Amino acid sequence: MLSTKDKGTLIQIGKRCERILDKTQNINKDVFDHSDDLKEVICFNLFQIGELAHNLSKDFTNDYNGIPWKQIINMRNKIVHGYVTVEFDVVWNTAINDIPALKDYCKKILDEN
């Protein structure tokens, strides 16, 4: 059974995933590469996801370890503390490949609880 806090956090992570998916729908990497606004929106939401993941309880992250929570938190730290050195290829790949899986994983957990 999820704690109320972890459940609320997962809901918020799902919303941030949706925001990224909405912004990347029907665009390609070239569009992303040439849009500072898209980069900012996606980085902001990745930052938020990392912040939220950091607030999940240890029990939760131990029990639901199908997602690399530590890597999510580390990506947040990279975006926040090293923005000029952010690798936008990594940001794009995360948005396109990892965010759908994260969204689905959170939804599955919420559906089960």
**pLDDT tens track for 24-55:** 999 999 999 999 999 999 999 999 999 999 99
pLDDT at position 33 is 97
With beta carbons less than 8 A apart as the criterion, state whether 61 and 69 touch: yes
Report the chain's terminal Cα–Cα distance, integer Å.
Answer: 6
Residue 85's pLDDT band, with cuts at 50, 70 and 90, is confident
List CB contacts of 12: < 8 A, sequence separation 6 or more.
48, 52
Question: pLDDT grade, residue 82 (50/70/90)?
Answer: confident
**Number of domains into which the chain is organized:** 1
Q: Which residue segment(s) compose the domain that 90 sits in?
A: 4-112
